[in-house]
Structure 1
C-alpha cells in the first residue's frame, strides 16, 4: 500500500466516526515527520509506503488510511527534551542567544523553551542557574534544522 496524502486527523473525528474502527498505529520518531517519502511498518506488521504528493509534513494523529473498519494513524514517539523555564525576559534572551550560536532548533510553549536533549546545553543551563527539566514527551512538530552559512 502506498499512501500519497493524509486523509484526516484523529482528533477531528467525531466519536461516531471512530466507533467500530480498528486502529493500527505507525510509530515514528519526530525527525521522520519531515520525510515525505519513507517505508514504515504498523504495529500489526503491515508494511506501507508513504509518498506524500502535497508539501505537507506528517504530525501526531494524522490518519494515513481509513475505510469502514480500519484506520492507520501516525503516533509520534516521545523525544528526550530539555524544557527550559526562564524566570525573566533577561534569562530568556541570554539562553536564546547562547543556544542560537549553536544553531540548535527550539520550540516554544507559553513561557517554556523546548530543545532536544544535549549534554552540553544541560551543562550550560546548570552553570548559568537557569531552571530546566529533562523530560520524555511528544513534540507537536518536528524540530527543523535551519540551513545557515556564516
Structure 2
C-alpha cells in the first residue's frame, strides 16, 4: 500500500472506535516525503506524500471504519537548556547558532538534540540543563545557510 496523503490527526478525532496500528518513526524521519515503513502489526507500507508536508505525531496515514494506521514519534535524547537570564540565553543561543544546531523552544526551555560537546560546554559555563528522553512534536530542522 502506498500512502500519498495524511488523513488527519488522531488528536482531532472525537470518538475513536477503530483499532489502531502504529508506525514508529524517529523525529528525523518526519521530514521524509518518501519512505518505506512497517507497522507494529508487521504490515509494510510506502509513504510518498503528494504535497510537501512534515509528518507529526498522531498523523493518520490510513483509515477504514474499523482500522487506522497512525504515526507515533519515538523519544529523542535531548538537552533541555534553562538559562537563568536573558544574557545567558543570548550567549548560549549565539554559541549554538555558530554550530548551526537546530533548536526548539517550549516554555522557558531551549531544546536541542543530545551532543556531548554541547553538554561539556554548558557544564563549563554553569548553564542549567538536563539530558532527557522526550517525544518531540516535530523534527529538528536545519536551516539552509552559507557564509558568503
What is the TM-score with the length of structure 1 in the denominator? 0.97
In structure 1, the partner of 2:45 is 48
- Structure 1 residue 111: deviation in Å? 1.0
Query: Corresponding residue for 2:26?
Result: 29
The one of 131, 136, 147 equivalent to 1:134 is 131
CA–CA distance in structure 2, aligned partners of residues 32 and 101 of structure 1: 25
Q: CA deviation at 1:55?
A: 1.5
Q: Secondary structure at the match of 1:58?
A: coil
What CA distance in whole angstroms lies between the structure 1 residues aligned with 2:14 and 2:5? 21
Q: Distance in 1 between matches of 2:129 and 2:94?
A: 16
SS at match of 1:80: strand
In the aligned structure 2, how far is the partner of 1:3 from the partner of 1:90?
A: 47
Total equivalences in the alignment:
147
Q: CA deviation at 1:147?
A: 2.0
Does 1:147 pair with 2:144?
yes
Structure 1 unaligned spans of 5+: none
Q: What's the TM-score, normalizing by structure 2?
A: 0.98
Equivalent residues in 2 for 1:76-87 (5 A)?
76-87=73-84
Gaps of 5+ in 2: none
Counterpart position of 1:7: 7
Match of 1:59 in 2: 56
Name segments (4+ residues, structure 1) moved above 3 Å. none
Equivalents in 2 of 1:46, 1:129: separation in Å? 48
SS of 1:8's partner is coil
- Alpha-carbon RMSD across the aligned residues, in angstroms, is 0.6
Between the aligned partners of 2:31 and 2:99, the Cα distance in structure 1 is 21
